[in-house]
Chain A
Amino acid sequence: MAAKTQGPAVGYTTESTRTLLRVVILCFIAAAAISSRLFSVIRFESIIHEFDPWFNFRATKYLVANGFHKFWDWFDDRTWHPLGRVTGGTLYPGLMVTSGAIYHALRTLTIPVDIRNICVLLAPACSGLTAFATYLLTNEMTTSPSAGLLAAVFMGIAPGYISRSVAGSYDNEAIAIFLLVFTFYLWIKALKLGSMLWGALCALFYGYMVASWGGYAFITCLLPVHALVLIAMGRYSTRLYVSYTTWYALGTLASMQIPFVGFLPIKTSEHMPALGIFGFIQLIGFIQYVRSAISGRQFQTFLVTILVATFGLGLLGLVALTSLGYVAPWSGRFYSLWDTGYAKIHIPIIASVSEHQPTAWPSFFFDLNFLIWLFPAGVYLCFQDLKDEHVFVVVYALFGSYFAGVMVRLMLTLTPVVCVAAAMAASQILDTYLSWKSATPVEEQEAPKKVKGGLRGSEKPNVGIYSNLTKVMVSGSMLVYLLMFVSHCTWVTSNAYSSPSVVLASRMPDGSQHIIDDYREAYQWLRQNTKEDAKVMSWWDYGYQIGGMADRPTLVDNNTWNNTHIATVGKAMSSREEVSYPIMRQHEVDYVLVVFGALLGYSGDDINKFLWMVRIAEGIWPDEVKERDFFTPQGEYRVDEGATETMKNSLMYKMSYYNYASLFPAGQAADRVRGVRIPDQGPVLNTLEEAFTSENWIIRIYKVKDLDNIGRDHANAAAFERGQKKKKPTKKRGARVLRVD
Chain B
Amino acid sequence: MRILSSIAPLLLLIGGSLAKKAQTDSYEEFNKLAQRSSPIKLNDATYASLTTAPRNHSVAVLLTALETRFGCQLCQEFQPEWDLLGKSWTKGDKTGESRLIFGTLDFADGRETFISLGLQTAPVLMLFNPTVGPHAATSPEPSRYDFTAGPPAAEQVHSWLSRQLPNRPHPAVKRPINWLRWASTITLVLGVGTALVSASSYVLPIIQNRNIWASVSLIAILLFTSGHMFNHIRKVPYIVGDGKGGVSYIAGGFQSQLGLETQIVAAIYGILSFCAITLAVKVPRMADSKTQQVAVVVWSITLFLVYSFLLSVFRVKNGGYPFSLPPFM
Which A residues are within 8 Å of any B CB, using their own CB? 340-341, 358-366, 370, 372-377, 379-381, 383-384, 386, 394, 397-398, 401-402, 404-406, 425, 428-429, 432-433, 439, 441-442, 453-458, 460-467, 469-470, 473-474, 477, 480-481, 484, 487-488, 491, 495, 622-623, 626, 628
Contact = CB atoms under 8 A, between A and B. Distances in A.
Contacts of B208: 453
Contacts of A428: 280-281
A462 B284 contact: yes
Interface stretch (B48-56, B99-107, B224-232): B224-232
Contacts of A406: 229, 233
A321 to B, nearest CB: 20
Given A379-B221, A429-B279, A477-B304, A358 B234 contact: yes
B285 A340 contact: no
Interface string B309-329: 010001001101011010000
Contact of B287 (A341, A429, A442): A442
Contacts of B224: 401-402, 404-405
B193 to A, nearest CB: 10
A377 B276 contact: yes
B154 to A, nearest CB: 15
Given A397-B217, A405-B225, A473 B296 contact: yes
B297 interface: yes
B128 interface: no
B281 A381 contact: yes
A381 B278 CA distance: 11
Nearest to A366: B318
Residue among B210, B222, B272, B279 with max Cβ neighbours from chain A (10 Å): B279
B230 A628 contact: no
Q: Is the interface of B mostly helix, strand, loop or mixed?
A: helix
Interface string B14-34: 000000000000000000000
7 contacts: A358-B230, A380-B277, A384-B281, A394-B217, A432-B284, A458-B285, A474-B279
A675 to B, nearest CB: 16
Contacts of A488: 323
A457 B285 contact: yes
B79 to A, nearest CB: 22
Contacts, number: 189
A364 B227 CA distance: 8
Q: How large is the interface on B (under 10, 10 to 19, 20 to 34, 35 or more residues)?
A: 35 or more
Interface in B75-133: none
A386 B146 contact: no
A442 B285 CA distance: 10
A362 B254 contact: yes
Q: Is the interface of A mostly helix, strand, loop or mixed?
A: helix
B217 A379 contact: yes
A363 B254 CA distance: 8
Contacts of A404: 224-225
Residue among A341, A373, A455, A456 with max Cβ neighbours from chain B (10 Å): A373
B144 interface: no
A373 B284 contact: no
B282 interface: yes
Contacts of B220: 398, 401-402
A579 B120 CA distance: 34
Contact of B314 (A365, A491, A626): A365
Residue among A362, A394, A462 with max Cβ neighbours from chain B (10 Å): A362
Given A380-B218, A432-B283, A628-B146, 12 more contacts: A370-B307, A381-B280, A386-B210, A394-B217, A398-B217, A401-B224, A429-B279, A439-B289, A467-B289, A467-B293, A622-B160, A628-B148
